Structures are given as C-alpha cells and as structure tokens.
Amino acid sequence: MENFEPEIVAFCCHYCAYTAADMAGSKRISYPSNVKIIRVPCTGKVDALHLMKALEKGADGVYVAGCLEGDCHFKNGNIRAKARVERVQKFLEELGWETERVTMLNMSAGMGEVFAKTAKEFTEKIKTLGPNPVKLRKTKAV
Amino acid sequence: MITAEQKPLQEIIGYIAPYGKILVVGCNECVTVCAAGGRKEVGLLASAIHLDRLKQGKTIDIKEITLERQCDPEYVEELVSSVGEVDAIVSMACGCGVQTIASRYKVPVFPAVNTKFMGASKSQGIWEERCQGCGDCMLGITGGICPVARCSKSLLNGPCGGTSDGQCEISPDTPCAWRLIWERLVELGIEDRYEELNMAKDWRPAGGAGPRRIIREDLA
C-alpha cells in the first residue's frame, strides 16, 4: 500500500474550480497528478449517477468542486450538487463504504492556491483510506 | 400521484442476495415524478448493488429497464424477452406495479420502494398527502380541502380540541385541515356552508367493504 497512488476524479465547474486549476497552472503551483479533472458547465450538471459510476469504475476518490455558496453562475447549481454529494454519501454509508471518498468543495475562479491545496489534501486523505474496495478485490482476484 | 420512497439499500440487497442475475425495473409514471423509481433511480440502485457485490469480490449481472407504466399488463408484457435471462426482478414501482409483474411472471419479484400515499407536490422535493381514496369525494362541500386526508382524525364536522394556533396537535408542521377549510370558505364568501352538518360517512367505498374494483362496461 506504500506505493498506492489513488485515482481521483474531480468534477470542476467551468466558472470557478476549473479556472482555479488553470490559475494554479499559470502560477506554477503544482498539485497531485492523481486528480483527473472533468470540466462541467456548472456543478448542478453533476448527477449522483456520475459519482456512483466513477466509483463503480474504480475511482478511489471523487470530488465536486463548485463556486462559493451564493456565487453560482446559475444561481444554485452548487447547492444542488452539494445535496447530490450528500445523497451519494448516504448511499456509501448504507453500503459500508467510507463516505469521505466523495466530497464537495467550493472555491472561486481566483483561488488557484486553494485548488492546489484542496487537491493535495483530498489526495492525502484518499491515500490514508486506501484503494477503492472494488479495485482491491479485483487485484486480489488476479 | 402515488408517492414512494426507496427502501434502505441493505433491505434490497438482502432480498437479492441469493441471485446472480437480476432485472431492475423502473416506472415512468408516479415514481419517476417523485424521484423514487424512474430511469435515474434504476441506474443509481443498479450502481449501488454493483458496488456492494464488487466489494464482496462477487459479480452480478444487472439489467435495467424502465417501463412506461408498470401497473398495466400491456407494458409489463415488454419484459417477456428479458425475464427468461434473470433469476429475480427488483421493481422500483409502487405496490401496484410490483403486483402486476408478480402476477405475470414466475420469477421472484422484490419491491425496492415503500409506497407511501396519494399526494401532491408542494415544492421541489416535498410531497404531501392530499387524498385517501375514500370513494365518496366531499371536496365540493369543504372548499377544495379534504378533511378525510388532511385532518389527522378524518373529522367531518369541524376541528377537534387539539387545534393549537391553527395547527394540528400531532405536529406544529401540520395545519389543522378544518382551520384551512374555514379560511377557504371565508375567502370564497360561503362560510355559511360550515353550518351544514355532514352525516356519518359510509366507509365501505373507502375500502371498508374489502378490495375495491371499478368495472366500466363500455371499456371492459
């Protein structure tokens, strides 16, 4: 488990977190390459099914990064996304999975440092949790 | 519409534990509107079952189908080609849908939702009971507010002593139906109707005389 490098899927809002990631790049602030970004027009576009499918296909952690609360470009897409993340967390809890594998983050477009910091923190947290149980079983089977 | 809520995942997982091939069937009608058993919920449930099995190192084949309506035999017939390939069916429809499937196919059928009540949408994500199907609608004399469904005691002639600040004693979130009826009658200027006594209700059409049936001879 020492060399465990998690695969993390980040659904990032075009108007904030995605731009923040870009900002981090422009400022030469590095963040873990484990984080694979999927740009969405608004986190309100992210469905609970997208989060579940990501886990089902082996992602070790999934997060949704939207605008600061009250600042959504589409008024309340980030609030809806937060509710969906909580729904998936409830599913995971019922299944006996670690709910921390899915989380919601908020930041503005100018927060390049915050994007990098949260990406690092989330990656570290997932490293402590270990691989997605789905992958673990597959590896054992091999 | 008929409202429903998904059952706890562990209960559903328990039902299907012995089976390796299952069919999850959604319904495009009421349970889609109340976000309990439509196409999206079918996908989520299938995904959750997958996650559970994979965690245990087991596999499961899950087929997902969402029918136009599960309470009509014509639509349930569409499952005929899929049912032969599965060990069990999980229905995300109301109890009517589950029973329609169970009466058609010789495969175990399990409910994935708890059917709740006949309700209306108050706002996004909130549904409230509005009808108990008493079989003898009295909305015409109560200003369009049903005392059978909305009064906790189904009182027919005004509120009980449990009314407090216009709310029902069962919960401060539940308005007293008879307070609502009175306000509505006043609003409509027909409050004198409140004085008219309603006779004791015949509860046989409400189900008191056993399972109910409608036969329309012009259609049957």
Q: Do A49 and B40 touch (CB under 8 A)?
A: yes
Instruction: Identify the residue whose tokens are 């014509």.
Output: B74
Query: Model pTM?
Result: 0.93
Contact (Cβ atoms closer than 8 angstroms) between residue A106 and residue A66: yes
pLDDT at position A135 is: 80
Q: Residue B161: which residues within 8 A CB-CB, separation 6 or more? A: none
pLDDT at position B34 is: 96
pLDDT at position A3 is: 83
Spell out the domain ranges in chain B: 2-117, 132-206
User: In CATH, what class is A8-141?
Assistant: alpha beta
Higher local confidence (pLDDT), B187 or A138: B187
Asked which of A76-85, A131-140, B83-92 is least confident by mean pLDDT, the reply is: A131-140
pLDDT of A142 > 50? The answer is: no
Distance of alpha carbon A121 from alpha carbon A125, whole angstroms: 6
pLDDT at position A137 is: 61
Q: Which residues pair with B66 in a beta bridge?
A: B26
Name the A residues in 44-63 with CB < 8 Å from any B CB: 47-49, 52-53, 55-56
Express as a percent the part of chain A with pLDDT over 90.
91
Distance of alpha carbon B134 from alpha carbon B214, whole angstroms: 14
Contact (Cβ atoms closer than 8 angstroms) between residue A56 and residue B52: no
Residue A88: what residue type? V
Residue ranges with strand state E in B50-105:
61-67, 88-91
Say whether domain B2-117 belongs to CATH 3.40.50.2300: yes
ipTM field: 0.90
- CA A96 to chain B, closest CA, distance in angstroms equals 9
pLDDT at position A138 is: 58
Q: Which residues pair with A38 in a beta bridge?
A: A11
pLDDT of A32 > 60? The answer is: yes
Contact (Cβ atoms closer than 8 angstroms) between residue A38 and residue A64: no
Q: Do B9 and A94 touch (CB under 8 A)?
A: yes
Q: Order the strands of the B61-67 sheet from edge to edge.
A: B61-67, B21-27, B88-91, B109-111
> Given CB atoms, is A142 within the 8 Å cutoff of chain B?
no
- The encoded tokens of residue B27 equal 């319904």
- Count other C-beta atoms under 10 Å from residue A54's C-beta: 24
pLDDT at position A2 is: 64
- The encoded tokens of residue B187 equal 């609003």
pLDDT of A133 > 70? The answer is: yes
pLDDT of A1 > 70? The answer is: no
Higher local confidence (pLDDT), B100 or A137: B100
Spell out the domain ranges in chain A: 8-141
Positions of chain B with pLDDT under 70: none
Taking the alpha carbons at both ends of chain B, their separation in whole angstroms is: 24
- The encoded tokens of residue B34 equal 């109340």
